[in-house]
C-alpha cells in the first residue's frame, strides 16, 4: 500500500509540474469582480531622495524599511485591511517605489521584497483583489531654487531612457514576478505608474513647453509602448500562474484624455497607446487591462465636473476599450483630493461627485480605485475613517443604497492630549497636529499649552522665550490670540507675561475661523525657542452659533488667473457653498487690474441663464460692474470688492449657485464670509518691503538658518 501511494504521489507531482499554471479569469471578468477599490497610498510608495544624481551609485538603495512611514503614514496592519474590506472595498491597489530599495542593476533588497509580500498577503488573505505596481520610479522631476536637481525619476517616456534602462526594468519585474509566481488570480501586476517624458510634461508629451514638438511627442509615446511590451514579456516568461495573470499597462501620464478647445493633443496618450502583444489579446479572453487616472475639478461647479466624467468615459470606451482590453481608473478623486480642501470646503459637492463617478464607471464596466484619503495618517493606526461619510458614499454608490458597510469613525473628544512629557522647544523641533484632528471640531476650539520658560542657558538676544503656530506644510505662520489677547505670529512669552526663565505657564490659544478652517486641510505645527514643553491639549469648542452657516471667512479660491471672458477663468461658486455660510453671505473678490481697454466683472446664476443683481457699498447693481469706475482704481492697482445679495436673490442662489467672469483683471482670491457689522468696499493693498534683517538690525541678502526679522516680525529659517 505504501508503494502504491508513493507511485500515485509521484504521478500527481509530475502532473502538478505540468499543470501548475492556472487558467485565470479574463481581464474583463477581473475588472467586474474586483468591485470598488482603494489605494494604499503614501506607504510603500513613500520615498525620500538625498541623492538625486542618477550617475551616482548612491542614488540606488537610499532607504531601508523605514521608508514605509517617511511620509507620515503608520505601518500597515492586517487589521486595517480588514477594516477596508468591512467598508465594502473589494480591491486594494498597493503602490510600491523600488529605486530606493535596489542596486544600480535593479536587484531588490530582500527585506524590502519581504515587506511588500507581507502587505500583499494582508490583502489577498482578506479575500480582496490586490494590484502591485512600480510607482514613484516614474513621475515629475524637481529642482531647488538654484536649479539643482533634488528629485529624479529613473523611468521616463523617452527612447534613450528605455534603451538605457530596459535591462534594469526587466530585471526588476522578473524579481517581482518570480516572488508572486504562485499567487492566484486575485493578484494583478501594474507595469508602471504615471510615466512622463524627459521634460516631466503632464497630460501629453511637450505639454507646458514653449511649442508642441510632434516628432518628440511621437517618440515619447512610442517609448511608453516599449516599456509596456517589456513588462508583459518579462512577466509572461516567468511562467507558472504568471502565464495568464491579468496585467495592467498605462498610457502616457496615465492620462484619461480630453479635448481642450482646439487642442486635441490630450487625446494622444489614448490614441497612441498600443495593446501589448500577448498570448491572448481580445476583451473576451484576454488578460491585459488599461489604466488611467482622473482628478476633475469640482471647485468650478458640480455640473462641469460631471460633464467631465461623461466625456472621459466616452473617450475610454471609444478609444482604449476599442483596442481590445477593459479599463480601470487606478486613481481618482477631485483636483484637491490631496490637500483635503474639497472635503472641508465643499463636502456636499464632493460627496455628490464621488457618488456620480462610481455609478457612471460601474455602469460602463470600469473599475475605480479611490486615491487615498478616507482613512489617513494616525486614523489608520486607530482603525477608523477620518472621512467616514465619503467612504460610505463610494461603497454604496457601487453596492447600492441598502449595502450595510462598517465605517468606524474617530470619536470627537472634548479634550485630546497631543503631547505630554518634557521636550525642550528649539526652532524646527515642532509638535505636529495632523489635519484629521480638526475635521469634526468647531472653529471655536482652542489649544491649551503648559510649559516652563527655559532660556537661561542662552545669552544676548537668544535669552528669550518664543512660541509660534504654522500650517503643517510650513507655508506660513498664523496669527492667534493668547489668553484672549491678539498676537501677530510670534508670542514673546517672557515679555508677554513679564516673566523670567523658570516660570511655568498654561496658555490658551485660539484662532479665527478662516485659520481654523485651514487647519482642517493642512494641519498645524507648534514650535518655539527657550521653552520646556510639558503638555499640549486640543479642546473642542462649542458649535458655531450660526448653525446654518460658518459665519466666518473661508477661502474659496486662491491663485493668479486672468479674467478674459470665455478665454479666461470663469469661476463657479456652487449653491452648497452659499448654503454653508447662510443668509447675509459676503462674496469677497481680491484682484489686480490688468487692462488696455476696459475692466469688468459680470455675475450669472450657475445655470448661465440669468444675471443676479448684487449689492456693493449699499448700491444695487444689475449684472456687472467696472472696478475702475466703482472704486477709482487704475491699471495695475490691487483691489478688494465685497458683494452681498438681497434675500430674494440669495434664495435663487441657494438653488443655482453663481458664476462670475470678466475682462481686464487678474483674480487673486475669492472668500466666502458670513454677515459683517460693517462693509469695507475696497482696500488698496500696499506691498511690504520684504527686506530681511538679523536680530542686530543688519540687512541680510542671503539668510541662512536662524532667527530673522521681516516686515517687523520674527521668523525662522530652518
pLDDT tops 60 at residue 716: no
CA distance 417 to 429: 18
Q: Which residues pair with 661 in a beta bridge?
A: 602
- We find that the CATH architecture of domain 553-673 is Sandwich (2.60)
Q: What pLDDT was estimated at residue 521?
A: 86
Q: What pLDDT was estimated at residue 284?
A: 55
| Three-state secondary structure readout of 381-413 | HHCCECCHHHHHHHHHHHHCCCCCCCCCECCCC
Residue with cell 468591485: 35
Q: What pLDDT was estimated at residue 553?
A: 66
Q: Are 579 and 549 spatial neighbours (Cβ–Cβ below 8 Å)?
A: yes
265-303 pLDDT tens trace: 999 999 999 999 997 555 556 999 999 999 998 887 788
Q: Are 187 and 119 spatial neighbours (Cβ–Cβ below 8 Å)?
A: no
pLDDT tops 50 at residue 678: no
Task: Tell me the CATH number for domain 33-399.
Answer: 3.20.20.80
Strand segments, DSSP code E, in 378-479 are: 415-425, 431-433, 446-453, 466-471
pLDDT tops 70 at residue 693: no
Backbone angles phi, psi at 554, to 5 degrees: -125, 125
Q: Are 633 and 681 spatial neighbours (Cβ–Cβ below 8 Å)?
A: no
Contacts of 586 (CB under 8 A, 6+ apart): 642, 643, 644, 671, 672, 673, 674, 675, 676, 679
CA distance 284 to 282: 6
Backbone angles phi, psi at 553, to 5 degrees: -120, 130
- Minimal CA–CA distance to 268: which of 277, 276, 256, 278? 256
CA distance 384 to 378: 9
Mean pLDDT of the chain: 88
CA distance 15 to 89: 37
pTM of the model: 0.73
Q: Please, what's the b/e burial string for 463-497 (b: 16 or more CB within 10 A of its CB; e: otherwise)?
A: ebbbbbbbbbeeeebbebebeeeebeebbebbebb
133-189 pLDDT tens trace: 999 999 999 988 888 888 999 999 999 999 999 999 999 999 999 999 999 999 999
- CB atoms closer than 10 angstroms to residue 430: 18
Q: What pLDDT was estimated at residue 682?
A: 37
pLDDT tops 70 at residue 708: no
Q: Out of 111-120, 180-189, 303-312, 551-560, which region has the weakest mean confidence (pLDDT)?
A: 551-560
Q: What confidence tier does 621 reach under pLDDT thresholds 50, 70, 90? A: very high
Q: What pLDDT was estimated at residue 512?
A: 92
Domain ranges of the chain: 33-399, 415-539, 553-673
Contacts of 80 (CB under 8 A, 6+ apart): 375, 380, 381, 383
Q: Are 591 and 638 spatial neighbours (Cβ–Cβ below 8 Å)?
A: yes
Q: Out of 161-165, 446-450, 577-581, 658-662, which region has the weakest mean confidence (pLDDT)?
A: 577-581
Q: Which residues pair with 679 in a beta bridge?
A: none
CA distance 562 to 641: 17
Backbone angles phi, psi at 712, to 5 degrees: 80, 5
Q: Are 654 and 578 spatial neighbours (Cβ–Cβ below 8 Å)?
A: yes
CA distance 36 to 393: 12
- Is residue 540 exposed (0-12), middle (13-18) or buried (19+ Cβ within 10 Å)? middle
Amino acid at each position: 500500500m505504501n508503494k502504491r501511494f508513493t507511485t500515485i504521489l509521484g504521478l500527481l507531482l509530475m502532473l502538478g509540474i505540468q499543470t501548475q499554471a492556472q487558467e485565470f479569469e479574463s481581464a474583463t471578468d477581473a475588472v467586474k469582480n474586483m468591485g470598488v477599490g482603494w489605494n494604499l497610498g503614501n506607504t510603500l510608495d513613500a520615498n525620500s531622495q538625498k541623492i538625486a544624481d542618477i550617475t551616482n551609485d548612491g542614488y540606488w538603495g537610499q532607504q531601508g524599511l523605514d521608508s514605509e512611514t517617511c511620509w507620515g503614514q503608520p505601518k500597515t496592519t492586517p487589521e486595517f485591511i480588514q477594516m477596508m474590506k468591512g467598508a465594502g472595498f473589494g480591491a486594494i491597489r498597493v503602490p510600491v517605489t523600488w529605486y530606493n530599495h535596489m542596486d544600480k542593476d535593479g536587484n531588490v533588497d530582500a527585506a524590502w521584497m519581504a515587506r511588500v509580500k507581507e502587505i500583499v498577503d494582508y490583502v489577498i488573505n482578506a479575500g480582496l483583489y490586490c494590484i502591485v505596481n512600480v510607482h514613484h520610479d516614474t513621475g515629475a522631476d524637481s529642482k531647488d531654487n538654484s536649479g539643482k536637481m533634488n528629485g529624479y525619476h529613473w523611468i521616463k517616456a523617452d527612447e534613450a531612457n528605455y534603451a538605457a534602462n530596459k535591462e534594469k526594468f526587466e530585471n526588476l519585474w522578473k524579481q517581482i514576478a518570480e516572488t508572486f509566481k504562485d499567487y492566484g488570480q486575485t493578484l494583478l501586476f501594474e507595469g508602471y505608474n504615471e510615466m512622463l517624458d524627459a521634460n516631466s510634461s503632464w497630460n501629453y508629451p511637450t505639454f507646458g513647453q514653449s511649442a508642441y514638438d510632434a516628432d518628440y511627442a511621437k517618440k515619447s509615446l512610442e517609448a511608453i509602448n516599449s516599456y509596456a511590451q517589456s513588462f508583459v514579456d518579462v512577466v509572461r516568461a516567468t511562467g507558472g500562474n504568471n502565464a495568464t495573470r491579468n496585467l495592467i499597462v498605462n498610457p502616457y501620464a496615465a492620462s484619461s484624455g480630453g479635448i481642450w478647445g482646439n487642442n486635441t493633443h490630450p487625446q494622444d496618450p489614448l490614441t497612441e497607446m498600443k495593446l501589448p502583444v500577448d498570448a491572448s489579446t481580445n476583451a473576451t479572453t484576454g488578460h491585459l487591462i488599461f489604466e488611467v487616472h482622473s482628478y476633475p475639478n469640482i471647485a468650478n461647479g458640480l455640473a462641469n465636473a460631471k460633464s467631465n466624467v461623461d466625456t472621459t468615459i466616452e473617450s475610454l470606451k471609444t478609444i482604449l476599450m476599442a483596442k481590445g482590453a477593459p479599463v480601470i481608473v487606478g486613481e481618482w478623486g477631485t483636483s484637491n483630493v490631496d490637500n483635503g480642501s474639497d472635503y472641508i470646503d465643499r463636502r456636499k459637492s464632493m460627496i455628490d461627485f464621488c457618488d456620480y463617478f462610481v455609478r457612471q464607471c460601474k455602469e460602463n464596466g470600469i473599475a475605480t480605485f479611490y486615491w487615498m484619503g478616507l482613512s489617513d495618517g494616525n486614523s489608520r493606526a486607530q482603525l477608523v475613517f477620518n472621512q467616514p461619510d465619503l467612504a460610505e458614499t463610494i461603497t454604496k454608490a457601487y453596492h447600492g443604497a441598502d449595502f450595510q458597510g462598517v465605517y468606524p469613525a474617530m470619536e470627537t473628544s472634548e479634550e485630546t492630549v497631543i503631547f505630554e512629557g518634557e521636550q525642550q522647544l528649539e526652532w524646527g523641533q515642532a509638535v505636529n497636529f495632523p489635519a484629521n484632528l480638526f475635521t469634526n471640531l468647531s472653529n471655536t476650539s482652542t489649544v491649551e499649552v503648559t510649559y516652563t520658560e527655559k532660556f537661561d542657558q542662552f545669552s544676548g538676544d537668544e535669552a528669550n522665550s518664543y512660541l509660534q503656530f504654522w500650517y503643517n506644510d510650513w507655508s506660513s505662520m498664523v496669527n492667534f490670540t493668547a489668553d484672549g489677547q491678539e498676537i501677530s505670529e510670534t508670542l514673546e512669552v517672557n515679555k508677554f507675561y513679564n516673566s523670567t526663565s523658570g516660570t511655568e505657564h498654561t496658555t490658551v490659544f485660539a484662532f479665527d475661523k478662516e485659520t481654523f478652517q485651514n487647519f482642517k486641510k493642512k494641519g498645524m505645527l507648534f514650535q518655539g525657542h527657550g521653552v520646556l514643553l510639558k503638555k499640549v491639549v486640543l479642546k473642542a469648542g462649542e458649535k458655531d452659533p450660526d448653525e446654518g452657516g460658518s459665519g466666518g471667512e473661508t477661502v474659496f479660491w486662491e491663485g493668479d488667473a486672468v479674467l478674459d471672458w470665455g478665454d479666461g477663468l470663469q469661476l463657479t461658486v456652487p449653491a452648497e457653498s452659499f448654503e454653508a455660510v447662510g443668509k447675509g453671505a459676503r462674496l469677497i473678490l481680491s484682484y489686480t487690474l490688468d487692462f488696455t481697454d476696459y475692466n469688468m466683472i459680470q455675475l450669472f446664476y450657475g445655470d448661465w441663464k440669468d444675471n443676479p443683481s448684487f449689492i456693493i457699498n449699499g448700491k444695487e447693481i444689475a449684472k456687472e460692474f467696472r472696478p475702475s469706475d466703482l472704486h477709482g482704481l487704475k491699471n495695475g492697482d490691487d483691489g478688494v470688492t465685497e458683494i452681498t445679495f438681497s434675500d430674494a436673490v440669495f434664495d435663487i442662489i441657494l438653488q443655482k449657485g453663481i458664476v462670475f467672469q470678466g475682462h481686464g483683471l487678474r483674480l487673486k482670491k475669492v472668500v466666502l464670509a458670513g454677515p459683517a457689522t460693517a462693509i469695507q468696499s475696497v482696500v488698496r493693498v500696499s506691498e511690504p518691503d520684504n527686506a530681511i534683517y538679523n536680530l542686530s538690525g543688519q540687512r541680510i541678502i542671503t539668510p541662512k538658518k536662524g532667527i530673522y526679522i521681516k516686515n517687523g516680525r520674527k521668523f525662522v529659517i530652518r
